Amino acid sequence: MSILQNCCIPKSSRRPDRREWLFWILPLLAVAAFVLALLVGASRVDLGEALSAALAGERENTAYRIVFYLRLPRALGALLAGGALATAGVLLQAVLQNPMAAPNVIGVNAGAGFFSILAMALFPGVLGHLPLAAFLGALLAALLIYAVSAVTGAGRVTVTLVGVAVGSILTAASNTVKTLFPDSVYDISDFLIGGLSGVSLATVLPAAVMILPALGITLLGSRSLDVLSLGEEVAGGLGLRVSRVRLLWLLLSAVLAGAAVSFCGLIGFVGLIVPHVMRRLVGNRHRYLLPASIFGGGAFLLLADTVSRTLFSPYELPVGILLSLVGGPFFIGLVLMERRAKR
């Protein structure tokens, strides 16, 4: 029996959604940022010359080497890491039902960083296993925070504080490894600050193998994130296996954050800033929010990286510093806005 089968509402046509224009704008922005990243830098490079050299097989051409060995891997890395970190932020915010949750705020990035540094110390010179190690570290941190929130039923603030504590423990652990293995882990300040200067195809590709399928799965399952945002009991009443789904999303957020951290270090605030800006632009439905965060996150990190390497050219500011300078005030503003909304 269904009362809804014979309903008398006139057949409505689907209204065009004004949010849909963003699905043209954001990918275009990412492409524009990508082209800009290839063109701009300490050296002036003719992109046409680089392409001609590539087609002619002139591997020693300077323009070719700058574009294909330095700028292209770095731009691809920024796009991937930005999209992955922003998506991990959206997932963590949904799973923990906490708008302040982001991979760097609650210690997920710190977990990935600790395991990456540990892997560098134990297996020096091997790059391929870094994404897996970073994923395991991110997963450890995420599970720890999730377990605390599930067992204690702690509120948003407590979960955030637990995450901050987990983050500082894991950062201390990273520094301990750095102290104990000075020969294997001698130059990781860029990694700890977060930056893309050392990115090459050899570090990006293993991470891409993890990030791209994870993003695909995330887009396919976005509906369950909407249901989850209604709260545990309502979501259960709508047929969602809440614990199982939460665990799946937590795993995926660890894959995304871990893989990104493995090649760009502890870049902060992308997972916090981008989802919040995208929420303002496209709303909270994950069907819109996730693709917007993927493209928006990629474009944002790529533009930030381009600014950070050209602002004081020929000197380069690690993008992690620039993001912290922007992200710190953003986070404070977010806390203030939350408090005002509660009043």
| Residue ranges binding another protein (CB under 8 A) | 1-4, 7-9, 11-14, 97, 220-224, 226-227, 229-231, 233-234, 236-241, 279, 283-285, 287
Alpha carbons 267 and 322: distance in angstroms, whole number: 10
Complex with another protein: residue 239 or 314, whichever CB lies closer: 239
Alpha carbons 290 and 317: distance in angstroms, whole number: 29
Q: Minimum distance between the CB of residue 226 and another protein, rounded to whole angstroms?
A: 6
Complex with another protein: residue 200 or 229, whichever CB lies closer: 229
Q: Minimum distance between the CB of residue 285 and another protein, rounded to whole angstroms?
A: 6
272 within 8 A of 327, measured Cβ to Cβ = yes
Complex with another protein: residue 12 or 179, whichever CB lies closer: 12
Q: Minimum distance between the CB of residue 4 and another protein, rounded to whole angstroms?
A: 4
Complex with another protein: residue 30 or 245, whichever CB lies closer: 245
Q: Minimum distance between the CB of residue 19 and another protein, rounded to whole angstroms?
A: 12
Complex with another protein: residue 191 or 288, whichever CB lies closer: 288
Q: Minimum distance between the CB of residue 128 and another protein, rounded to whole angstroms?
A: 33
> How deeply is 72 buried, as exposed, middle or buried, from its count of CB atoms within 10 A (0-12, 13-18, 19+)?
middle
Q: Minimum distance between the CB of residue 181 and another protein, rounded to whole angstroms?
A: 45
Is the alpha carbon torsion for 73, 174, 255, 148 positive or negative? Answer: negative
Complex with another protein: residue 46 or 338, whichever CB lies closer: 338
Complex with another protein: residue 279 or 309, whichever CB lies closer: 279
Q: Minimum distance between the CB of residue 141 and another protein, rounded to whole angstroms?
A: 25
